[in-house]
């Protein structure tokens, strides 16, 4: 088995709990790139929210890629060009916004430039997301929203207990129409049905002509599930949720113990 591409989740996987990249992980990824292995960050964040990490890892050169918005977008990191983009329509916005109102949770909408909220009482989790991904927050009523907006994803956000109570009220038909995944205890992400990290990884592998058998994917949470299933080698972090550990081929150390470096050295460098 020869690993040609390593897809790595960001939060809880590549990053430590204080949102840093350890020196060991940084060195290991540099060695992987030197060996000609594609290193691809796969995250729920937009590109502006990962650029500092891409620069730190020297993954912003020609031929480097990132999967963002939980798979809604695959981009070249040198210039931000989209090579695959599974967007949502204004009709989707109306439907998802109405559902959030019905179940009593906050909602936000993201394009490639900003976070939009129709909630006058802006959620602290919207502010958190804005800070995390380096994007401005814009208040817009439903009537004020641009019907031509190119939507990458929407998010239902609230205190975990409020969000969980709301999720219990979402009908099965909603899940049939959209990709719906919980990326944090306070975030439920809603995307185009064709959008997921696994689908985005398939899109990229097709473009690069890399067979899935030669791909390693590393993650820790449910939004990483289909990416780990698609890859020839699916790796769960030691701190991953139970369901992700159960479907993975290999379990590495935690994000605090350089788990990404450990598994790359063991499975990608020794074959």
Nearest of 70, 77, 80 to residue 45 by alpha carbon: 70
Q: The tokens of 32 are what?
A: 């992987």
Q: Which residues of 239-259 are buried (b: 16+ CB within 10 A; e: fewer)?
A: bbbeebeeebeeebebbeebb
The burial of 185, by beta-carbon neighbours within 10 Å (0-12 exposed, 13-18 middle, 19 or more buried), is given as: exposed
Q: Quickly list DSSP for 138-174.
A: EE--GGGS-TT--B-EEEEE--HHHHHHHHTTS-HHH
Q: Please confirm, yes or no, whether 11 is among the known catalytic residues.
A: no
Structure-token pair, residue 169: 């009220």
Question: Given phi > 0 = left and psi -120 to 50 = alpha, else beta, which region is 170?
Answer: beta
Which candidate in 9, 92, 158, 224 is catalytic? 9
Nearest alpha carbon to residue 221 among 5, 39, 44, 3: 44
Question: Could you tell me the sign of the dihedral formed by the alpha carbons of 214, 217, 218, 222, in that order?
Answer: negative
Annotated catalytic sites, by residue?
Answer: 9
């Amino acid at each position: 088995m020869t690993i040609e591409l390593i897809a790595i989740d960001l939060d809880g996987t590549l990053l430590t709990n204080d949102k840093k990249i350890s020196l060991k992980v940084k060195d290991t990824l540099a060695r992987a790139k030197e060996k000609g292995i594609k290193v691809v960050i796969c995250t729920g964040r937009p590109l502006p929210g990962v650029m500092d990490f891409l620069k730190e890892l020297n993954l912003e050169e020609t031929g480097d890629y990132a999967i963002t918005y939980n798979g809604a977008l695959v981009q070249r990191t040198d210039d931000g060009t989209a090579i695959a983009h599974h967007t949502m329509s204004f009709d989707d916005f109306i439907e998802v916004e109405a559902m959030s109102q019905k179940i009593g949770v906050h909602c936000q909408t993201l394009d490639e430039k900003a976070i939009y909220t129709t909630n006058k009482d802006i959620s602290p989790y919207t502010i958190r997301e804005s800070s995390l991904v380096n994007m401005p927050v814009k208040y817009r009523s439903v009537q004020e929203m641009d019907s031509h907006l190119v939507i990458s994803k929407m998010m239902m956000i609230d205190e975990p207990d409020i969000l969980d109570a709301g999720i219990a009220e979402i009908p099965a038909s909603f899940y049939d129409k959209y990709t719906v995944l919980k990326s944090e205890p306070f975030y439920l992400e809603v995307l185009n049905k064709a959008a997921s990290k696994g689908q985005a990884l398939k899109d990229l592998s097709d473009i690069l002509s890399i067979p899935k058998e030669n791909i390693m994917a590393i993650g820790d949470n449910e939004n990483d599930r289909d990416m780990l299933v698609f890859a020839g080698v699916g790796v769960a972090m030691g701190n991953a949720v139970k369901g992700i550990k159960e479907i993975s081929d290999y379990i590495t150390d935690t994000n605090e113990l350089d788990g990404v470096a450990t598994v790359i050295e063991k499975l990608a460098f020794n074959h």
